[in-house]
Amino acid sequence: MTTESSFDVYRLPEEYDEIRAAVRDVCDARVAPNAAETDETSEFPKASYDALRSADFHAPHIPVEYGGAGADALATAIVIEEVARACASSSLIPAVNKLGTMPLLLAGSDELKQRYLPQVARGEGMFSYCLSEPEAGSDAASMTTRAVRDGDHYVLNGVKRWITNAGVSEYYTVFAVTDPTARSRGISAFVVEKSDSGVSFGAPEKKLGIKGSPTREVYFDNVRIPADRMIGEPGTGFVTAMRTLDHTRVTIAAQAVGIAQGALDYARGYIRERKQFGKPIAEFQGIQFMLADMGMKLEAARQMTYVAAGKSERGDADLTYFGAAAKCFASDAAMEITTDAVQLLGGYGYTRDYPVERMMRDAKITQIYEGTNQVQRIVMARELLKQVG
């Protein structure tokens, strides 16, 4: 027997619809107009950052006690989704702020949280995440960046690669080896500031997509930082890194959903207007089948993402599986949907005069970063094999 209330359980509360509408208004007016130029110039979209900051959407996940908006995981995912619908590069502003600060929220001392989170909430500095290295990508435990204790300080030496928003962010969560004999149990996490002596950056990578979000190497040359900037206890950094990714893979899923939605929206409008053989191409069944598949895959990806966001907020035991599943499915769907959007526009879709080719290029990275989709499948399989019965 069902009741009216049982159906209400599966419907998002109205406040999430209000959040979506508010973000969309800001993005339509002040973010989307910058997207093409941001892609063309490969420059960080400061105007979009200012727009998001003025509306408190640049780091919505920061708790209220640290001056933030206090958005839960689902609300944050919706913010990222809507920004990505307008501009994928700009969506990495709230996404990477969450990625960089999540280790503090999970394992940082109260002092560290009070020192850094309010600055992020006020928009005074962004936070990036430094895990990958030239020889330690999927195998993050093989990192070689070292942090050596020296009295009341640690001295860091090494290099991190593929760091999103490097050079623009003021703060960096850096993972480094403190005990080289213990492999993953010898890795610790630290907060490093851009202004610390010995911190420098490589040239921006020349990328296929998300060109407005700078990706650079970060170099640490005898960077001396106070020991109280360690996040959590010594040797807990790798666990913190993996726990962080469990949560933030949801944000990549949301980004993928947003990119796919933007492509679907544009393609749907185009096929209604484009005429061939005397009628809009939307009236042809072959086109309709493509559109139907795009919509179906998009909504499935969105539902998986929202379920994973709920599990992230609650800290459910199966978050590892659902975070990996949402990220993997949504990013694969986004790649398919954006590619189909290009196909629906025909030759026009292949030109930079129309936004879908940019969306297709932007979608590709969602299958790669924060763990390739091959790694996500390994994660999912391991979680499934742990289950009994």
- Which are the contacts of 304, defined by CB distance < 8 A and separation ≥ 6? 253, 322, 325, 326, 329, 330
DSSP 293-323: HHHHHHHHHHHHHHHHHHHHHHT-TTHHHHH
Q: Is 370 a catalytic residue?
A: yes
DSSP 337-350: HHHHHHHHTGGGGG
Determine the 3-state secondary structure of 333 from DSSP: helix
Determine the 3-state secondary structure of 173 from DSSP: strand
Task: For residue 200, count CB atoms less than 10 angstroms from its CB and return exposed for 0-12, middle for 13-18, buried for 19 or more.
Answer: middle
Give me the catalytic one of 43, 357, 370, 383. Answer: 370
Report the alpha-carbon distance of residue 330 to residue 299 in Å, rounded: 9
**Which residues belong to the active site?**
370
